[in-house]
Structure 1
């Protein structure tokens, strides 16, 4: 009798858990329905992950970048395009719209914003994820030993693009109170603020979005808007997987050569972080702050695609003080 009762109780609890999970999934899927989002730099990596997860939450997402099925950007990867990203957004449950845009070209960005205004009449979420400078990045050299042209190009790609996009898009964003600006970068203020990122141009390019979010947060506050910077941890982007000779299915094979890769996360994780922020009616409490995907997972309760909850920046900070167990940060 006791056993049967326990089994019944466990079954009831399981059913309730399943129903709760399904309810949570339904709520997450509907949470951004009717919202208009722009993800600048959504061809691959974090930008693609963010665009798809905003779509999974029901949003309409304009995705931009320079690599299309008809034209290749300087990054040189034909395997990811903005058209494919838009299709993934739609397949996830949203509406994806691909707009080829070079965010260094002011007129192209103006045309993009004008199109969003004409077609939707509003903008609720702006995600600045333009980058594409990995192929220019060289470590182990002093600033004066690096190629100046490459260094200045990194600043154009990682700083100037963000400034142009924010300057052009925010007037549409602030027409309605409560808009969100997300500056995507590499590193938190706690990490970057006390550590040199081993290449001055890269260091500047990845610290600038943190400061941009702080400044924009000050300016948006009177409009009920929120600006934050968000960083993924060790991101298993398409380029990163290629560099390590693995795929998303067998990425753990790289851990043997690079133990720290065990803390890596998929683009889904930072995507869910931004989607959770966008759906939070109380997100203004984060205004001006530097946030990470792992930190936001702890706050909002989401996981990476594999059900884990990695905290890469927590691990890296702890790693400098000792030898932490990677399992404590996944």
Structure 2
């Protein structure tokens, strides 16, 4: 990813920037010179329902600034309308514009129960997943889009899990399937509505993400993750990717004057890496969604490592 400050003067909001892909995308946008408002529910003084104290939005903002941009941490619960309104009022007051909105809101991993029928899942747990993964996106976009469209070439990125093609198989949990398919359709719909003003909306999916939370789940680290494959982690973890693979793609999209060619579409990290000509931090290029698409269809996808190239 080029370190040229091609996004200098641009303003981005990364909603859900506490950790993982959200943090990485905020930093990647900052590395290209953007001012980035980083929001989330976990700060140095409070912890969200996710229950992790080790990552905060203040730390994300500091990393954005260290990368060459300007990071601004704003504690925000994106299900609380008044908080979201206050956030957008602040961006308008302080910057007068918004060029990029990244909806990376989720935080529902602790609610996932794969393998259960819809009626076997506690209804409140299921509805909470839809609040976290769908309602929060809608509220944020509703308040942000009036400011976003003023630029004439706005970018809205809906972060999800899977693409329109690869999400066709059932995702093994009713509420999770809805929560991850909805942002794909949101990008498609808003893409139609942004077209007139010259804006672009896309859905973007990482692959098997080595987030801080995932590394902890598999009792490994970014330095030792390969040793966990087939032991504390499943064999598919061999195809995992760092958060910066998808982050680089989003930053390149933000800098791409021709991004309207993808308006309304759903993209994935490996696809963007091929398009813009970069690799993951280890110099390899994992192309995970073809593998997982075949796996979800009940096909034998073969060796996960065969989907990781070394350009």
**TM-score bracket relative to the smaller structure:** over 0.9
The 10-residue stretch of structure 1 (306-315 or 164-173) with the greater mean CA deviation from structure 2 = 306-315
CA distance in 2, matches of 1:325, 1:135: 29
Higher helix proportion: 1
**How many residues align structurally?**
304
CA distance in 1, matches of 2:32, 2:245: 14
Deviations 1:30-50 (A, max 9, x none): 121111000000001111111
CA distance in 2, matches of 1:171, 1:81: 28
Question: Which residue does 1:108 correspond to in 2?
Answer: 83
1:145 aligns with 2:120: yes
* 1:8-157 correspondence runs (5 A): 25=2, 28-157=3-132
1:291 aligns with 2:267: yes
SS of the residue aligned with 1:33? coil
- After TM superposition, give the deviation of residue 127 of structure 1 in Å: 0.3
- After TM superposition, give the deviation of residue 315 of structure 1 in Å: 2.1
1:243 aligns with 2:217: yes
CA distance in 1, matches of 2:179, 2:301: 30
SS of the residue aligned with 2:285? coil
1:199 aligns with 2:160: no
- After TM superposition, give the deviation of residue 322 of structure 1 in Å: 3.3
**2:194 equivalent among 220, 234, 251:** 220
Question: Which residue does 2:306 correspond to in 1?
Answer: 328
Unaligned segments of structure 2, at least 5 residues: none
CA distance in 1, matches of 2:305, 2:226: 14
Deviations 1:300-328 (A, max 9, x none): 11211111111110222345543434333
SS of the residue aligned with 2:166? helix
Paired residues of 2:11 and 2:100 also in contact (CA < 8 A): yes
The 10-residue stretch of structure 1 (206-215 or 29-38) with the greater mean CA deviation from structure 2 = 29-38
Runs of 4+ in 1 over 6 A off after TM superposition: none
The 10-residue stretch of structure 1 (316-325 or 219-228) with the greater mean CA deviation from structure 2 = 316-325
**1:317 equivalent among 283, 293, 296:** 293
